[in-house]
Structure 1
Amino acid sequence: MFTIVVISISLYGFYRITQTKKQLADRCFQIVENRGLYSRQEFSLLPKEEVTIKSKDGHQLHGYYIDAFPEQQDVVMIVHGYTVAYPWSMQFASVFLKKRFNLLVIDQRAHGESEGRYTTYGVQEKYDIERWVEWLRTRKGRNVRIGFHGQSLGGGTVLEYSRLSDEIMFMIIDCSYADFSELVKYQIRRLYRVPLFPVYYLIQCWVYLFARFKLSEVKPITASASSKFPILFIHGSHDWFIPPSMSKQLYDAKKVGKKELVFIEGAGHGNSLPHNRKRYEQVVKNFLNEISLEMNQSNKGDPIKIKQGL
């Protein structure tokens, strides 16, 4: 009986990690509209094109490119978290559009209208981001400059992508995990209150057997440690799902280049902007202003400048 219970718990954990039911676009729009964060009408008024590309392993990936400022070469790719879809990312659009960035919002694999069965927390997703970057370079030209905003899973994904490229203008990492295996252990102990042994080790087995990746492979903290581009880390102080200490670990690991860590007091997981929109957007605006100044100073003599007025 004990064996059956343990196996059942571990299989449930595997399902929760890799295959929890995802929200489609209509449901995500409904959520952000009900919370007063963004509306379908606002989205309908934006100049945009629907885009589909193929992943490295043959899945169709879906997104929208918002070319609000065709003359501008700067694009922010907004990458959502687990179980949601591209409309969730639009709550962050305003601060970037005000700064005259074009936007690419995507459905991650196994989310929204993108294909795929399992979420791998950056193991496969980083190659999806690489394909999106290739598409942007084709669409906007080789001089395009790309920044990233990633929330939760999206934050881990874009940090993992940074292992593949150093052509990154900046990243804004909102409530991401530092080490996925440690996050799973934390959630087993603190959230589900079941013994780490043997549940964690069985989950590891199921993940590798079915989703074909190892929990220990996912270490955004290693990517942060080797990064040289500017990173703003944001985390809600009352996040029970991914502890704020993980953003502190990511921040501490980064040794080179501009970095900033901001805790939004009282905010839960993925709730920093809704909890205090004014604070969140001001922090992002200040960060963008600072890196704009730094890039303008370092690029003197370079004919390609980051936009003025940022």
Structure 2
Amino acid sequence: MGPTFVQLSANSVPTGRPDVDIAGLQFDPTGLYGGHLILADCDANSDNRAAIYALLPNLTWQAISSLVTTPVRCYGDLTISPGGALGQSIYVTEKVTNTITTVAPNGTHSVWASGFVGIESISAASDGESLYVSDFNGVYRIRPTGNVPGPVLIAREPSLPGTQPFKTTDPIYSARLIWNAPIFFGNSDVVVTNAKGEDVPVSVSGSGSQFLLISFGTPLYTNTYTITVRDTVRSVTGSIQIDGDNNGISGGDAVIQMMHLCPSDVNNNGIVNSQDFFDFLTAFFTPELCSDFNGDGFANSQDFYDFHSAF
């Protein structure tokens, strides 16, 4: 059985209106507009008027803004920000002036952004930090003034996919963090702790570039280091905080973990014991499992000898 359609406002129009053409609608998540279904009307085939309405539970219409003629104002779409940097407000696309306009609970309209060509749809992000808007030229993400993205971490060296541990016979003496823009930083901006939460002495270099090189005073070996780059680090251009948590907004520390295990710690539990030996033997005699211990692309007797030596 397919979906059921119920026309809620059949043969219903606001008092004094012969017709309405709904351009956009959304339930009010803020409560500032009564928590009702909010509609943007721009009638183009009858009385040529526009207004913002709330549709009440009894299917009557309550005007939020006063009526104006469509040559003065015509809505393209509507969204309501739940809060955040955008605040709790209705945002509409206004097609006469090609602007984004806010609508206050008392119906006051204020231009929020302009410069569009053929403005159409609009949607507020669920966190209230960005608006997404389309016009004839594309789709835009727009943030409030002062709400700008900061430099983000794009790569690290050495690196392994996901959360895989490093397994080398040599310790790791340094790490390089690569950002998408040049940044300024100093030793106080970087904190490294080991698996016990103890501070690891570090020195940093590369300030003014995209590369943050961290030299560990105590090399990483059979341990886990947590690297925290504080959001006191700022971009060279504009002095904008890093976007450490990569949420599209400047601010937030960047936290990276690096784990190093003994090569013979087959099960990655941080302990080398007989279970690792049994696990390697199981892998060695099971074709479906990988026992290429030395990483030469082949699983053969040399891997067994190399594992035995490391063990």
More strand by share: 2
- Tell which structure's C-alpha radius of gyration is larger: 2
Using structure 1 for the length normalisation, give the TM-score: 0.19
User: Which of the pair is proportionally richer in helix?
Assistant: 1
Which fold has the larger relative contact order, with Cα–Cα distance below 8 Å and residues 6 or more apart in sequence? 1
Q: TM-score, structure 2 length as denominator?
A: 0.19
